[in-house]
Amino acid sequence: MDALDQKILRELQCDGRISNVALAERVSLSPSACLRRVQELERTGVIRGYRVVTSPERMGRGFAAYVLVGLSSHTKAAQEGFERAMSVAPEVVECHNIAGAFEYLLRVESADLSEYKRFHTEVLGTQSHVHAITSYIVMGSPKDERAT
Amino acid sequence: MDALDQKILRELQCDGRISNVALAERVSLSPSACLRRVQELERTGVIRGYRVVTSPERMGRGFAAYVLVGLSSHTKAAQEGFERAMSVAPEVVECHNIAGAFEYLLRVESADLSEYKRFHTEVLGTQSHVHAITSYIVMGSPKDERAT
DNA sequence: GGTGAAACGTAGGCCGT
DNA sequence: ACGGCCTACGTTTCACC
């Protein structure tokens, strides 16, 4: 992975559907050489894949919150039960197992606050072993490289 | 936005570089009809763009932490100064302005714990108006739809 | 929404460095 | 080992039905 590869990855970050000839031109390479590099990055796993980026608002995901969750039980069964519930909940887009005063950090996306409240009471509130919930409502994201 | 559009978006979520003919086949449409729908989704802003997904480990981003930051000053100047510092820091991949006991939630990615410690002391520690820092180190992410 | 045809891009073989 | 050139093949993209 040299500077040229990084330049290629930067371009694919901005536009993942750029044509190979345009990409080659941007990084000052011939199309064939450029394609070989991209394919090598895909083969070796540096490139995991490509995905579309959609507008959260237009997808009914205009509201976002981060939620710290504390479990009263630290058994494997309790963790697996909670993780299963989160993986099934469509509002939960991220579920991180963290080290510290809480066990989990969630990113929850919904249409609005009332829909979030429903998730809070009906999904999180009904989970056994959940003994602490702290919500941080996102008011804005001055930087979000994972979304752009 | 009907069911067909959502089907198209789901396919583009899995593979953002799928060819139009393959996409058309997957959603049972002719290539031209499919392309028109995709272009309309792009034109109306439902589709924001396309991005490559890279392996964090292979990019020297194997370590991740979430950081709650409290500011001692709530003036516009203090906020803008902090946000500017975060937008410049390459380790900070997300900076969210939140409502609650803290002002900001960051997602920080680095190669390892020692590099994170350097960021913690040299970047966050030197910021004025920062009076509270709480780090949550990510041990795993059972669900992360924004990364896949 | 489907069809067809021209313009364009892809992908692999081959050669030079 | 890596970049550039060439070419058959597939894809995109448009006017038109």
CA distance B144 to B125: 29
CA distance B23 to B85: 42
Q: A63 and A32 in one domain?
A: no
pLDDT in tens, A105-123: 999 999 999 999 999 999 9
Quick check: is A33 in a domain?
A: yes
CA distance A110 to A92: 9
* pLDDT score of B148: 79
Instruction: Say whether the CB atom of A30 is under 7 angstroms from strand C.
Output: no
Task: Kindly report the length of chain B.
Answer: 148
Q: A79 and A23 in one domain?
A: no
The total number of structural domains that make up chain A: 2
Q: A110 and A88 in one domain?
A: yes
The CATH number that applies at residue B15 is: 1.10.10.10
The CATH number that applies at residue B71 is: 3.30.70.920
Nucleotides of C under 7 A from a protein CB: 1-4, 8-14
Quick check: is A146 in a domain?
A: no
Quick check: is B142 in a domain?
A: no
Which residue is closest to C13 in terms of CA–C1' distance?
Answer: A32
Q: B129 and B62 in one domain?
A: yes
Q: Is the dihedral of CA A47, A53, A59, A64 positive or negative?
A: positive
The answer to whether B40 faces chain A, any CB pair under 8 Å, is no
pLDDT in tens, A135-144: 999 999 999 9
Q: B40 and B66 in one domain?
A: no
Q: Which two tokens stand for residue B7?
A: 């089907």
Q: Which two tokens stand for residue A134?
A: 């702290």
**A 114-133 near B (Cβ less than 8 A):** none
Q: A103 and A73 in one domain?
A: yes
Q: Which two tokens stand for residue B37?
A: 């729908």
For A106, the domain range is 56-137
pLDDT bracket for residue A134 (50, 70, 90): very high
Q: Which candidate, B72, B78, B64, B67, places its Cα nearest to that of B104?
A: B67
Q: B21 and B74 in one domain?
A: no
Q: B74 and B15 in one domain?
A: no
pLDDT in tens, A43-64: 999 999 999 999 999 999 999 9
* pLDDT score of A147: 87
Quick check: is B146 in a domain?
A: no
Instruction: Say whether the CB atom of B29 is under 7 angstroms from strand C.
Output: yes
Q: B127 and B63 in one domain?
A: yes
Which residue is closest to D14 in terms of CA–C1' distance?
Answer: B32
Quick check: is A51 in a domain?
A: no
Quick check: is A143 in a domain?
A: no
Longest CA span, chain B: 59
pLDDT bracket for residue B86 (50, 70, 90): very high
Whole-number mean pLDDT of chain B? Answer: 96
Nucleotide nearest A34 (Cα, C1'): D3
Q: A61 and A40 in one domain?
A: no
pLDDT in tens, B105-127: 999 999 999 999 999 999 999 99
Q: A122 and A60 in one domain?
A: yes
Quick check: is A72 in a domain?
A: yes
B142 DSSP 8-state letter: E
Q: B90 and B17 in one domain?
A: no
Give the residue on B whose Cα is nearest the Cα of A8. Answer: B52
Q: What is the pTM of this model?
A: 0.93
* Average pLDDT, integer, range B75-81: 96
Q: How many residue contacts between A and B have a Cβ separation below 8 Å?
A: 193
pLDDT bracket for residue A148 (50, 70, 90): confident
Quick check: is A122 in a domain?
A: yes
> Does A42 score more than 90 pLDDT?
yes
